């Protein structure tokens, strides 16, 4: 049987002045003054102040409490109300203290302290706010694509062949057979274009890249989309523009308080995001490389801000030799590709492009790269049975949240990061 809850949330208290109500949450802070003690209670909606006369209960911070009291207006209290004449019930007492005080407005603790203590440290409002922004972003991703006629899919994370490039997979034993953790849903999302035309997926992907940087994880969350019946990659870029605008709008709408707490400056997403061909980017940079180095990405982002007033920049036409075998070449310039990266505030945020869609083109592409067809047989079956011209993209969620919130390391925008050194908690 479900009992109607009598619980009132901290953020709802201003609507209950004069009433006796019940709130529940964690003891965020206990502050004893001479004649009164303040208990600040934290719940999912925010903070509530409770005032007791005298010393009040001497409980450590993070104790879980249920409190009944009278909602009393007090202009000095946060949100203009506080709970007075309380009765306090302990729902759960503590066996340990957090590694640092969660009520201090900023987090001074070093990154490993935050990550090692994640089950507790993430309760700090500034740290949980990052994940509220992340959740609102995913909601915006879904809502935008739902509105554009996409179907959400869920594809296997254990696969029989690499999907991006051979070396960076985690191998595992699958009932005595060699299997891998999926580097991306690439093959499956393409195959599902053959069923639904337009699909998206949000889920974990795994990269066995031994990078020890502030922008790489061994497991991250990939926001993927793929759509059929396109003329070329530019239609994919137009969809991506809508998606990014939808994510920004969703953060403002669903995580406004978290964004305010973090002092997030939400970017303007231009109606048309400026774009630059890879060859032109090389000319501007005065170098001749097959790919963009992180310093190049930063420089190009500054260029886009200076020249176009945009915090976003599409770099299109990456050299074919640096893109995966499923990439569609640029018509008339086959050394370049119909692919793109989206740079945001100095960092590669999205990769995407048009794919090959004809069966024989796949056979030729694999042969040209000296790759056997065998491991890709399941994938190639889609193309043997008729696939429209299509393309798609993948956006790294942790990078997005980090860039959006001005966070220095994507580990802070990951609940429980997995990297070269970290497998717990
Ligand atoms: P790519 O490998 O470029 O493309 O990845 C797409 C986006 O995912 C993010 N990303 C990462 N984030 C954290 N840690 C990592 N190790 C990491 N690697 C990548 C980045 C990047 O832009 N299948 C293609 C996408 C497509 O063409 O649809 C792919 O996976 O934000």
Give per-residue pLDDT as tens, 131-170: 999 999 999 999 999 999 999 999 999 998 877 765 699 9
User: Which residue has tokens 């640029």?
Assistant: 330
Question: Residue 57: its pLDDT value, please?
Answer: 85
Give, for ligand 1, the residue of 184, 344, 394 to mutate: max count of ligand atoms closer than 8 Å to Cβ. Answer: 394
In a domain, 316, yes or no: yes
Q: Is residue 98 part of a domain?
A: no
Question: DSSP letter string over 201-263?
Answer: EEEEEE------STT--SEEEEEEEEEES-SSHHHHHHHHHHHHHHHHHHHHHHSHHHHHHTT
> Do the beta carbons of residue 425 and residue 118 sit within 8 Å?
yes
Q: Which letter does DSSP use for residue 44 in this model?
A: T
Going by pLDDT thresholds of 50, 70 and 90, the confidence category of residue 3 is low
85 and 194 in a single domain? The answer is no
Q: Are 84 and 125 in a shared domain?
A: no
Please state the domain count of the chain. 2
Q: How far apart are CA 341 and CA 278, in angstroms?
A: 10
How many Å lie between the centroid of ligand 1 and the Cα of residue 105? 34
Residues 228 and 374 in one domain: yes
pTM: 0.96
Matching residue, tokens 């070396």:
167
In a domain, 419, yes or no: no
- Rounded distance from Cα 351 to ligand 1 centre (Å): 6
**Closest by CA position to 159, among listed 205, 209, 200, 198:** 205
CATH of the domain at 26: 2.40.50.140
Question: Do 51 and 126 lie in a common domain?
Answer: no
Q: What atom in ligand 1 is closest to the CA of residue 224?
A: 28
What is the Cα–Cα distance from 133 to 136, expressed in whole angstroms?
Answer: 5
Q: Which residues touch 332 (CB under 8 Å, ≥6 apart)? A: none
Q: Check whether residue 392 and residue 355 sit in a common domain.
A: yes
pLDDT in the model for residue 1: 53
In-domain check, residue 160: yes
Same domain for 393 and 337, yes or no, is yes
Distance (angstroms) between ligand 1 centre and the Cα of 6 equals 46
Instruction: Select from 76, 92, 108 the last residue of a domain.
Output: 92
Pick from 102, 143, 132, 44: which is nearest to 413 by CA? 132
Work out the average pLDDT over 212-232. Answer: 97
pLDDT value, residue 165: 64
Q: Which of 244, 187, 233 is nearest to 340 (CA)?
A: 233
Residues 75, 138, single domain; the answer is no
Are 331 and 289 in the same domain? Answer: yes
Query: What average pLDDT score do residues 239-255 get?
Result: 98
CA–CA distance, 183 with 199 (Å, rounded to integer): 18
User: How many CA within 13 A on the CB side of residue 144?
Assistant: 24
Residue nearest to atom 9 of ligand 1 (CA): 396
Distance in angstroms (rounded) separating the CA atoms of residues 62 and 188: 44
Q: What is the C-alpha separation between 404 and 349, in angstroms, rounded?
A: 11
Q: Choose the final residue of a domain: 49, 74, 92.
A: 92
Mean pLDDT over the full length of the chain = 96
Which atom belonging to ligand 1 lies closest to the Cα atom of 392?
28
Ligand 1 site, CB within 6 A: 164, 184, 186, 207, 209, 216-217, 220, 222, 348-353, 392-394, 396, 398-399
Angle at 116 between CA 251 and CA 402, to 5 degrees: 25
Kindly state whether residues 78 and 225 are assigned to the same domain: no
The average pLDDT across 104-123 equals: 97
- Residues of the chain with pLDDT > 90, as a percent, come to 93
Q: Is residue 45 part of a domain?
A: yes
Residue 114 falls inside a structural domain: no
**Number of Cβ within a 10 Å radius of residue 406:** 11
What is the per-residue pLDDT across 328-350, written as a single tens digit (0 to 9) for each? 999 999 999 999 999 999 999 99
Longest CA–CA span in the chain (Å) reads: 83
Q: What is the CA radius of gyration of the chain?
A: 26
Report the C-alpha gap between 197 and 167 in whole angstroms: 31
Check which CATH number belongs to the domain holding 191 and give it.
Answer: 3.30.930.10
| Cis status, amide bond into 425, omega within 30 of 0 | yes
* Ligand 1 centroid, distance to 222 Cα (angstroms): 7
- Distance, in Å, from the CA atom of 324 to the CA atom of 184, rounded to the nearest integer, reads 12
| Residue 45, Cβ density class (10 Å: 0-12 exposed, 13-18 middle, ≥19 buried) | middle
The per-residue pLDDT for 273 is 98
Tell whether 262 is covered by a domain.
yes
Closest residue by CA, ligand 1 atom 20: 396
Question: What pLDDT, in 10s, does the model give residues 162-191?
Answer: 777 656 999 999 999 999 999 999 999 999
Residue 211 — very low, low, confident or very high, per pLDDT cuts 50/70/90? confident
* 244 has pLDDT over 90: yes
- The whole-angstrom separation of Cα 372 and Cα 375 is 7
**Structure confidence at residue 55 as a pLDDT band (50, 70, 90):** confident
Asked if 151 and 279 sit in the same domain, the reply is: yes
Its domain, for residue 43, covers 10-92
pLDDT, tens only, 26-54: 999 999 999 999 999 999 999 999 999 98
Residues 333 and 261 in one domain: yes
Give kind and range of the element (H or E) at residue 422: none
SS3 label, residue 393: strand
**Integer Cα distance of 268 and 393 in angstroms:** 21
CB 114 within 8 A of CB 107: yes
**Which ligand 1 atom minimizes the distance to the CA of 207?**
16
Spell out the residues 6+ positions from residue 359 whose beta carbon is closer than 8 angstroms to its own.
380, 383, 384
Residue 423 lies in a domain: no
Q: Are residues 211 and 176 in the same domain?
A: yes
CA torsion through residues 360, 365, 368, 370, sign: negative
Which ligand 1 atom minimizes the distance to the CA of 347?
31
Q: What is the pLDDT of residue 49?
A: 97
Average pLDDT over residues 252-274: 98
DSSP string, 151-202: EE----SEESS-SS-GGG--EEEETTEEEEE-S-SHHHHHHHHHHHSEEEEE
* Residue 124, token pair as written in the block: 């700090």
Q: Is 324 helix (H, G, I), strand (E, B) or coil?
A: coil
Closest CA to 125 of 65, 61, 42: 42
Task: Give the pLDDT confidence score for residue 256 in this predicted structure.
Answer: 97
Atom 23 of ligand 1, residue of closest alpha carbon: 186
Q: What is the pLDDT of residues 74-86, one digit of tens each?
A: 999 988 999 999 9
């Amino acid at each position: 049987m479900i009992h109607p809850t009598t619980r009132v949330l901290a953020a709802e208290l201003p609507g209950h002045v004069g009433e006796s109500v019940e709130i529940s949450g964690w003891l965020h802070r206990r502050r004893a003054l001479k004649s009164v003690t303040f208990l600040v209670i934290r719940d999912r909606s925010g903070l509530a102040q409770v005032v007791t006369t005298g010393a009040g209960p001497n409980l450590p911070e993070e104790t879980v409490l249920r409190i009944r009291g009278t909602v009393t207006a007090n202009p000095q209290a946060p949100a203009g109300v506080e709970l007075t004449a309380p009765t306090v019930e302990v729902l759960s007492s503590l066996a340990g203290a957090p590694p640092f005080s969660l009520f201090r407005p900023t987090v001074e603790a070093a990154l490993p302290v935050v990550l090692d203590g994640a089950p507790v440290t993430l309760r700090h409002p500034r740290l949980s706010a990052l994940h509220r922004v992340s959740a609102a972003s995913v909601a915006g991703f879904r809502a935008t694509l739902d509105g554009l006629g996409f179907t959400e899919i869920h594809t296997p994370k254990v696969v029989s062949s690499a999907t991006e490039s051979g070396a960076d997979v985690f191998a595992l034993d699958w009932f005595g057979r060699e299997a891998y953790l999926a580097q991306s849903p690439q093959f499956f999302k393409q195959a599902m274009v053959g069923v639904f035309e337009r699909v998206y997926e949000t889920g974990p992907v795994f990269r066995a890249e031994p990078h020890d940087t502030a922008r790489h994880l061994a497991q991250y969350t990939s926001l993927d989309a793929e759509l059929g019946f396109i003329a070329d990659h530019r239609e994919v870029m137009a969809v991506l523009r809508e998606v990014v605008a939808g994510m920004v709008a969703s953060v403002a709408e669903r995580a406004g308080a978290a964004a305010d707490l973090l002092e997030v400056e939400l970017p303007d997403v231009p109606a048309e995001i400026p774009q630059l061909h890879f060859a032109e980017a090389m000319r501007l940079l005065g170098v001749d490389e097959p790919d963009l180095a992180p310093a190049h990405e930063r420089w190009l982002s500054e260029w886009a801000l200076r020249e176009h007033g945009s915090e976003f920049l599409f770099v299109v036409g990456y050299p074919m030799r640096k893109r995966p075998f499923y990439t569609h070449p640029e018509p008339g310039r086959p050394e370049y590709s119909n692919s793109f990266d989206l740079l945001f505030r100095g960092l590669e945020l999205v990769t995407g492009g048009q794919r090959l869609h004809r069966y024989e083109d796949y056979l030729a592409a694999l042969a040209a790269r000296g790759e056997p067809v065998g491991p890709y047989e399941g994938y190639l079956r889609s193309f043997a049975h008729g696939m429209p011209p299509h393309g798609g993209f993948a956006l790294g969620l942790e990078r997005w949240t980090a860039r959006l919130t001005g966070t220095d390391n994507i580990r802070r925008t990951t609940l429980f990061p997995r990297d070269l050194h970290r497998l717990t908690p």
